Chains A and B, each alone.
Chain A
Amino acid sequence: MAKSIDVSDLDIYYGDFLAVQGVNMTIRARSVTAFIGPSGCGKSTFLRSLNRMHEVIPGARVEGKVSVDGQSLYDANVDPVAVRRQIGMVFQRPNPFPTMSIYDNVLAGNRLNSKRMKKSEADAIVERSLKGANLWGEVKDRLGKPGMGLSGGQQQRLCIARAIAVEPQVLLMDEPCSALDPISTSAIEDLIHELKTQFTIVIVTHNMQQAARVSDETGFFNLKGAGQPGHLVEFNSTEKMFANPDNDATEAYISGRFG
Chain B
Amino acid sequence: MSTTLTTKEAPAGGDPSPSWISERSGRGDAIFKGLTIAAAALILLALASVFIFLFTQGFAGFTQPAEVYSKYGSSFWGYVWPLLASTIVASLIALIIAVPLAIGIALVITQYAPSWLSTPVAYVIDLLAAVPSVVYGLWAGIYLAPKLVPIYEWLHEHLGFIPLFGDVVSSGRSISTAGLVLAIMILPIITAISREVFSRTPRLHREAALALGATRWEMIRMTVFPYGRSGVISAVMLGLGRALGETMAVVMVLSPGTLFTFNLFSGSNTPSIAANIALRYKERSEGTLEVLIATGLVLFLLTFAINFAARWAVARSERKLAG
**Interface of A toward B, CB cutoff 8 Å:** 51, 53, 56, 58, 81-86, 88-89, 91, 93, 95-99, 101, 108-109, 112-113, 144-146, 149, 159, 162-163, 166
CB distance from B220 to the nearest CB of A (A): 13
Task: Please report whether the interface of chain B is mostly helix, strand, loop or mixed according to DSSP.
Answer: helix
C-alpha spacing A101/B218, complex, angstroms: 18
List chain A residues, Cβ under 8 A from B12: none
Given contacts A81-B213, A84-B213, A109-B213, is CB(A95)–CB(B323) below 8 Å?
A: no
Question: In the complex, A98→B212 CA distance in Å?
Answer: 15
15 A–B contacts from the bound complex (CB under 8 Å): A51-B211, A53-B207, A56-B207, A58-B114, A81-B213, A84-B210, A91-B211, A95-B208, A98-B227, A109-B213, A112-B218, A146-B322, A149-B323, A163-B211, A163-B212
User: Are the C-beta atoms of A97 and B207 separated by less than 8 Å?
Assistant: no
> Is B321 touching A53 in the complex (CB atoms < 8 A)?
no
Which residues of the partner chain B approach A91 to less than 8 Å between Cβ atoms?
204, 207-208, 211
Task: List the 9 closest pairs (A to B, CB-CB), nearest first.
Answer: A85-B213, A99-B226, A109-B212, A89-B211, A84-B213, A95-B208, A95-B204, A146-B323, A145-B323
- Closest residue of chain B to A85 (Cβ to Cβ) is B213
Shortest distance between the CB of A47 and any CB in chain B (Å): 11
Q: From known contacts A91-B207, A95-B204, A146-B323, infer whether A166 and B226 are also in contact, taking CB-CB under 8 Å.
A: no
Interface residues of B in 210-250 (CB under 8 A from A): 210-215, 218, 222-223, 226-227
Give the chain A neighbours of B215 by CB distance below 8 A: 81
- How long is the Cα–Cα vector from A109 to B214 in the complex, in angstroms? 8
The one of A56, A93, A144, A166 in contact with B212, judged by C-beta atoms closer than 8 angstroms, is A166
Contacts known (A98-B205, A99-B227); A112 close to B212, Cβ less than 8 A: yes
Q: Specify which chain A residues have a CB less than 8 angstroms from the CB of B114 in the assembled complex.
A: 58
Report Cα–Cα, A91/B204, bound state, in Å. 8
Closest to A101 in B: B323
Residue numbers in B under 8 Å from A51 (CB-CB): 211
In the complex formed, the residue of B with least CB distance to A145 is B323
Q: Would you give the shortest CB distance from B112 to chain A, in whole angstroms?
A: 12
B70: interface (CB < 8 Å): no
Report the minimum CB–CB distance from A16 to chain B (whole Å): 16
Interface size on B, residues (CB 8 A): 23
Choose one: A58, A82, A85, A146; the contact of B321 (CB below 8 Å): A146
Evaluate contact between B322 and A84: CB separation under 8 angstroms.
Answer: no
Q: How many residue pairs between the two chains, A and B, have CB atoms under 8 Å in the bound complex?
A: 71
> Residue of A at shortest CB range from B114?
A58
CB-based contact B212/A85 at 8 Å: yes
Query: Are the C-beta atoms of B211 and A53 separated by less than 8 Å?
Result: yes
Residues of A within 8 A of B218 (CB): 112
Q: Is the CB of B210 within 8 A of A97?
A: no
Which residues of chain B (270-297) have a CB below 8 Å from chain A?
Answer: none
A97→B214 contact, CB < 8 A: no
Report chain A residues within 8 Å CB of B63. Answer: none
| Chain B residues closer than 8 Å to A82, beta-carbon distance | 213
In the bound complex, residues from chain B placing their C-beta under 8 Å from that of A166 are 212-213
B115 contacts partner chain A, Cβ-Cβ < 8 Å:
yes
**CA gap between A31 and B323 in the complex, in Å:** 40
Docked CA distance A162–B211 (Å)? 11
Whether A113 and B321, one on each chain, are in contact in the complex, defined by CB atoms closer than 8 angstroms, is no
Q: Kindly state the separation between the CA atoms of A108 and B212 in the bound complex, as whole angstroms.
A: 8
In the complex, given contacts A93-B204, A98-B205, A166-B212, what are 4 additional A-B residue pairs having Cβ atoms less than 8 angstroms apart?
A: A81-B214, A88-B211, A95-B207, A96-B208
CB-based contact A58/B207 at 8 Å: no
Whether B213 and A113, one on each chain, are in contact in the complex, defined by CB atoms closer than 8 angstroms, is yes
The verdict on A97 contacting B323 (CB below 8 Å), with A56-B210, A91-B204, A162-B212 known, is no
Q: For residue A90, which residue of chain B has the nearest CB? A: B211
Docked pose: A166 CA to B212 CA in angstroms? 8
Whose C-beta in chain B lies nearest to the C-beta of A144?
B323
What's the Cα separation between A223 and B227 when bound, in Å? Answer: 38
Distance (whole angstroms) from the CB of B174 to the closest CB of chain A: 41
Cβ of A145: which chain B residues have Cβ within 8 Å of it? 323
A112–B204 touching, CB < 8 Å: no
In the complex, chain A residues whose CB is within 8 Å of the CB of B223: 97
State the Cβ distance, A93 to closest chain B Cβ, in Å: 6
Give the chain A neighbours of B222 by CB distance below 8 A. 97, 108
Contacts of A109 in B (CB 8 A): 212-213
Complex Cα spacing A11 to B282, Å = 75
